[in-house]
Amino acid sequence: MKRRSIKQIVYNTMYLQDTLPGKAFNLLLIVSIVMSVFVVLAYSIPSVAAEYWYAVNYLEFFFTVLFTIEYLLRAWCSPSSKSYMFSTFGVIDLLSIAPTWITIIFPLFPSLALLRLFRVLRILRLVKLLQYLNDTHLMMQILLNSRRRIAVLSLWIMVLVVIFGTLMYVIEGQENGFTSIPISIYWAIVTLTTVGYGHITPQTVLGKAVASLIMLIGYSMIVVLAGVISQEFSDVKKKLQGMTCSSCGTSDHAHDAVYCKRCGARL
Amino acid sequence: MKRRSIKQIVYNTMYLQDTLPGKAFNLLLIVSIVMSVFVVLAYSIPSVAAEYWYAVNYLEFFFTVLFTIEYLLRAWCSPSSKSYMFSTFGVIDLLSIAPTWITIIFPLFPSLALLRLFRVLRILRLVKLLQYLNDTHLMMQILLNSRRRIAVLSLWIMVLVVIFGTLMYVIEGQENGFTSIPISIYWAIVTLTTVGYGHITPQTVLGKAVASLIMLIGYSMIVVLAGVISQEFSDVKKKLQGMTCSSCGTSDHAHDAVYCKRCGARL
Amino acid sequence: MKRRSIKQIVYNTMYLQDTLPGKAFNLLLIVSIVMSVFVVLAYSIPSVAAEYWYAVNYLEFFFTVLFTIEYLLRAWCSPSSKSYMFSTFGVIDLLSIAPTWITIIFPLFPSLALLRLFRVLRILRLVKLLQYLNDTHLMMQILLNSRRRIAVLSLWIMVLVVIFGTLMYVIEGQENGFTSIPISIYWAIVTLTTVGYGHITPQTVLGKAVASLIMLIGYSMIVVLAGVISQEFSDVKKKLQGMTCSSCGTSDHAHDAVYCKRCGARL
Amino acid sequence: MKRRSIKQIVYNTMYLQDTLPGKAFNLLLIVSIVMSVFVVLAYSIPSVAAEYWYAVNYLEFFFTVLFTIEYLLRAWCSPSSKSYMFSTFGVIDLLSIAPTWITIIFPLFPSLALLRLFRVLRILRLVKLLQYLNDTHLMMQILLNSRRRIAVLSLWIMVLVVIFGTLMYVIEGQENGFTSIPISIYWAIVTLTTVGYGHITPQTVLGKAVASLIMLIGYSMIVVLAGVISQEFSDVKKKLQGMTCSSCGTSDHAHDAVYCKRCGARL
Nearest Cβ partner for A261 among D155, D159, D258: D258
For D224, residues 6+ apart whose C-beta sits below 8 A from its C-beta are A143, A150, A229
Residues of chain D found within 8 Å of residue B230, distances taken between Cβ atoms: 230
The partner residues of C259 in beta bridges, in order of sequence, read C266
Please state, rounded to an integer, the average pLDDT across all residues of chain B. 81
Q: Which residues of C175-193 are buried (b: 16+ CB within 10 A; e: fewer)?
A: eeebbbbbbbbbbbbbbbb
Tell me the per-residue pLDDT of A128-164, one tens digit each, with 9 for 90 and over. 777 776 655 666 777 777 777 778 888 888 989 999 9
Q: Is pLDDT above 90 for C212?
A: yes
Within A106-136, where are the H helices? 112-119
Among B204-213, B250-259, D13-22, D39-48, which range has the highest average pLDDT?
B204-213
State the average pLDDT for chain C.
81
> For chain C, which domains are there?
2-132 (1.20.120), 143-241 (1.10.287.70)
Q: C3 CA to chain B: closest CA distance, Å?
A: 38
Query: What's residue B72's pLDDT?
Result: 92
- Decide if C194 and D197 are in contact by the 8 Å CB cutoff: no
Q: CA–CA distance from C164 to each of C79, C176, D98, D115, D131 (Å)?
A: 55, 16, 21, 18, 19
The stretch C47-72 carries a mean pLDDT of 89
C194/chain A closest Cα distance in angstroms: 8
Task: Output the 3-class SS for C127-156.
Answer: HHHHHHCCCCHHHHHHHHHCHHHHHHHHHH
d(CA D43, CA D125): 15
**Positions of chain B with pLDDT lower than 70, given as ranges:** 1-4, 108-116, 133-139, 236-267
Cβ of residue D261 closer than 8 Å to a chain A Cβ: yes
- Closest chain D residue by Cα to residue A38: D182
Asked if A258 and D261 come within 8 Å (Cβ–Cβ), the reply is yes
Q: Is the model's pLDDT at D264 over the cut of 70?
A: no
Answer whether B142 sits within 8 Å of A252, measured CB to CB.
no
Listed range (A33-47, A95-109, D79-93, D204-218) with the worst mean pLDDT: A95-109
Highest mean pLDDT: which of A255-259, C116-120, C124-128?
C124-128
Contacts of A123 in chain D (CB under 8 A): 162-163, 166, 181
- Is B202 in contact with B208 (CB distance < 8 Å)? yes
Decide: residue B73, CB within 10 A, 0-12 exposed, 13-18 middle, 19+ buried. middle
pLDDT at C261 exceeding the cut of 70: no
Q: Which of A137, A238, A17 is nearest to D152 (CA)?
A: A137
Provide Rg for chain A, Cα atoms: 27
Question: Chain D closest CA to B227's CA: distance in Å?
Answer: 9
Give the count of Cβ contacts less than 8 A between chain A and B.
Answer: 130
Task: Please tell me if residue C38 touches chain A, with a CB cutoff of 8 Å.
Answer: no
Of the partner residues C135, C232, C261, the one whose CB lies closest to the CB of residue B152: C135
D207 pLDDT above the threshold of 80: yes
CB contact under 8 A, D215 and A234: no
Residues 6+ apart with CB under 8 A from A190: A196, A197, D196, D212, D215
Q: Which residues of A touch B123 (CB under 8 A)?
A: 162-163, 166, 181
pLDDT: which is higher, A215 or B7? A215
Q: Report DSSP state, residue C251.
A: -
Mean pLDDT of C138-150: 73
Q: Name the residue type at position D202.
A: P
Check residue A139 and give its pLDDT: 66
Nearest residue to D98 via CA among A243, A74, D109: D109
CB of A201 within 8 Å of any CB in chain B? yes
Split at pLDDT 50, 70, 90, the class of A204 is very high
- Residue B152 touches partner A, C-beta closer than 8 Å: no
Minimum-distance CB partner of C259 among B152, B169, B262: B262
Q: Is D46 on the interface with B (CB under 8 A)?
A: no
Residue C243 pairs with which residues in a beta bridge? C252
CA angle D255, D256, D262 (to 5 degrees): 80
Distance (Å) from the C-alpha of residue D188 to the closest C-alpha of chain A? Answer: 12
User: What DSSP line would sit under D93-147, residue for residue?
Assistant: HHHHHHHHHHHHH-SS-S-HHHHHHHHGGGGGGGGGGGGG----HHHHHHHHHTH
- Angle (CA) B150-B152-B155 rounded to 5° is 110
Q: Both ends of chain A: CA-CA distance in Å? A: 48
Residue of chain C whose alpha carbon sits nearest to that of B207:
C186
Write the single-letter amino acid at B215: M
- Interface mutation target, options B89, B193, B199, chain A, most CBs of A under 10 Å: B193
pLDDT at residue C72, rounded to an integer: 92
From chain A, the residues in CB contact with B230 under 8 A are: 226-227, 230-231
Q: Establish if D234 touches chain B: CB-CB under 8 angstroms.
A: no
For an interface test with C, the pick among B158, B183, B216 (most C C-beta atoms closer than 10 Å) comes out as: B216
Q: How far apart are CA D132 and CA D137, in angstroms?
A: 12
Q: Which other chains touch chain A, taking contact as 3+ CB pairs less than 8 Å apart?
A: B, C, D
Q: Do A174 and D199 touch, CB atoms closer than 8 A?
A: no
Q: Look at B198 and D197 and tell me if their CB atoms are within 8 Å.
A: yes
Report the residue from B120, B225, B229 with minimal CB separation from A170: B120
Q: How far is CA D158 from the centre of its chain?
A: 21
Please count the other Cβ atoms lying within 10 Å of the Cβ belonging to residue B144.
11
- Tell me: pLDDT of C238 over 90: no
Q: Check the CA dihedral D117-D122-D128-D129 and report its sign.
A: negative
Residue B178 has a pLDDT of 92
Determine the Cα–Cα distance for residues B209 and C69; give it in Å rounded to an integer: 38
Which of A192-206, C84-98, C172-186, D235-249 is predicted least confidently?
Answer: D235-249
pLDDT (0 to 100) of residue C122: 78
Residue A212 reports pLDDT greater than 90: yes
Give the Cα separation of B50 and B57 in Å (integer).
11
Say whether A130 sits in a helix, a strand or coil: helix
A264 touches chain C (CB under 8 A): no
Q: Residue B199: name the closest of A189, A191, A175 by CA.
A: A191
**Hey, is A177 helix, strand or coil?**
coil
User: In this structure, are residues A260 and A253 in contact, taking their beta carbons and an 8 Å threshold?
Assistant: yes
> What local confidence, expressed as pLDDT, does residue A146 receive?
73
pLDDT score of B87: 86
Long-range contacts of B68-76 (CB under 8 A, 24+ apart): B68/B97, B68/B101, B70/B14, B70/B29, B71/B97, B73/B10, B73/B14, B74/B14, B76/B7, B76/B10
Residue in D192, B148, B142 with CA at minimum distance from that of residue C222:
D192
What is the three-class DSSP state of D259?
strand
* CA–CA gap between residue A262 and residue D265 (Å, rounded): 12
Can you tell me the distance from the alpha carbon of B2 to that of D29, in angstroms, rounded to the nearest whole number?
94
Integer angstrom CA distances of residue C171 from C24, C189, C208, D124? 63, 17, 10, 16
d(CA C77, CA C15): 10
CB-neighbour burial class of residue A105 (10 A; exposed 0-12, middle 13-18, buried 19+): exposed
Please give, rounded to a whole number of angstroms, the shortest distance from the CA of B111 to a CA of chain D: 31
C14 against C165, higher pLDDT: C165
Higher-scoring residue by pLDDT: A108, C70: C70
The confidence band for D104, taking pLDDT boundaries of 50, 70 and 90, is confident
**What pLDDT is recorded for position B238?**
66
Based on the number of CB atoms within 10 Å of its own CB, is C223 exposed (0-12), middle (13-18) or buried (19 or more)?
buried
- CA separation for the pair A190, A196 (Å, rounded): 5
> Nearest CA to B238 among B150, B153, B144, B142?
B142
Contact at 8 Å (CB) between C240 and C142?
yes
Whole-model pTM? Answer: 0.85
Interchain contact, C261 vs B252, CB within 8 Å: no
Q: Is the pLDDT of residue A113 over 70?
A: no
Q: Identify whether the C-beta of residue B35 lies closer than 8 Å to the C-beta of residue B63.
A: yes
Q: Is the pLDDT of residue A83 over 60?
A: yes
A52, A195, A237, A267: best mutation site toward chain D, by most D Cβ within 10 Å? A195
Encode B210-240: b = buried (16+ Cβ within 10 Å), e = exposed. bbbebbbebbbbbbbbbbbbbbbbbbbbbee
On chain B, the residues whose CB falls within 8 A of the CB of D230 are 230
Q: Residue B261: what pLDDT? A: 62
Question: Strand, coil or helix: what is B197?
Answer: coil
Cβ contacts from C onto D, under 8 A: 130
Contacts of C196 in chain D (CB under 8 A): 190, 194-198
Contacts of B196 in chain D (CB under 8 A): 195-196
> Of B90-94, C223-227, D254-258, which range is least confident?
D254-258
From B194, B195, B230, residue closest to D230, measured CB to CB: B230
Which residues numbered 71-130 in D keep a CB inside 8 Å of some CB on C?
Answer: 116-117, 120, 123, 126-127, 129-130
pLDDT given for residue C114 in this prediction? 66
Q: Which pLDDT tens digit goes with each residue over D110-166?
A: 665 666 677 778 788 888 777 776 655 666 777 777 777 778 888 888 889 999 999
CB within 8 Å of D100: residues ≥ 6 apart:
D60, D61, D64, D122
Look up the ipTM and state it: 0.82
